[in-house]
Amino acid sequence: MLTKILNLCTHCGNLGFICVSSMCLEKLPNEVRTLLHRHGLLNELVARHIRNEMACSIQLTDVELDDLHKLLFKKFSVETIDELEKHVNGLGLTMDDTLMQASLQIKIKKYSHLEFGSKAEAHFLVRKSDLDSVVYSLLRLKDPGLANELFLQISGGEADFAELSTRYSEGSEQKTRGIVGPGPMAKAHPQLRKLLLTAKAGVVMPPIYVETWYLIVRLESHIPAVFDDSMAELMELELFNLRVQSQSAELFNSLLPTFPV
């Protein structure tokens, strides 16, 4: 459905990369918008439009284009452009479709670097606390009384955290002797994340209630995120996606179907 709608819209020059203009989307009949919205596809169409429109401005170098052709030759077990076109046509695709799909991530990466490369480090500094990784021991229980008892045993040196977690914990950490991570701080539950941000390594903390669980936690290690080339690329892509979300929301609201009063 989305591909058919995309194919009705205009193309830009490089590699026949399909670019959907906002005007094209606005011309969709109200019943089509209603159908897309009803099935949760309108927002996806809008997001694809925004991504494609941004990527459409990026030109591939001759080397990148040659590498792309080699990748497609290998993927479809062909040796020439003519064989590739014949093969994808047999799959119901045009060369434009195939090259668009194959080049999208390359173009997004290049666009993100050109547009957001100078802003990546500042974004990293804002996000750093979420990007830092942690390793912690966890014991998860439903019974508050047992949680308090086990906390006292661990904090008093009467029992080993790993052994108690293996024996009593009711979560998946039971299989890892209570060890969780290393993993990004952002993936932790907000309440647990808040606790870990101020925790001292090696110090077991009193049980906290999170949703339906009583958690006993001990921070084992804190691993600071580093702004290197791979992190810079990640930040550039994050900024790209934030722009896509912002522009998608605005366009999506303007395309919502109208209903008779």
Stated pTM of the model: 0.74
CB 178 within 8 A of CB 165: yes
Would you state the pLDDT for residue 242? 95
Residues 29 and 71 in one domain: yes
Residues 74 and 104 in one domain: yes
Task: Say if residue 154's pLDDT is above 80.
Answer: yes
Q: Nearest 5°: phi and psi at 189?
A: -55, 140
Task: Assess if residue 82 is contained within a domain.
Answer: yes
Question: What b/e sequence results for 241-251 when a residue is b if at least 16 CB atoms lie within 10 Å of its CB, and e otherwise?
Answer: eebbeebbeeb
Would you state the pLDDT for residue 7? 43
pLDDT tens-place string over residues 18-40: 444 555 777 778 888 888 888 88
Task: Say if residue 51's pLDDT is above 80.
Answer: yes
pLDDT tens-place string over residues 207-248: 999 999 999 999 999 999 999 999 999 999 999 999 999 988
Residues 39 and 142 in one domain: no
Would you state the pLDDT for residue 49? 86
Residues 7 and 58 in one domain: yes
Task: Say if residue 1's pLDDT is above 80.
Answer: no
What range defines the domain where residue 88 resides? 2-120+235-255
Would you state the pLDDT for residue 161? 96
Residue 27 burial (CB < 10 Å; 0-12/13-18/19+)?
Answer: exposed
CB 11 within 8 A of CB 96: yes
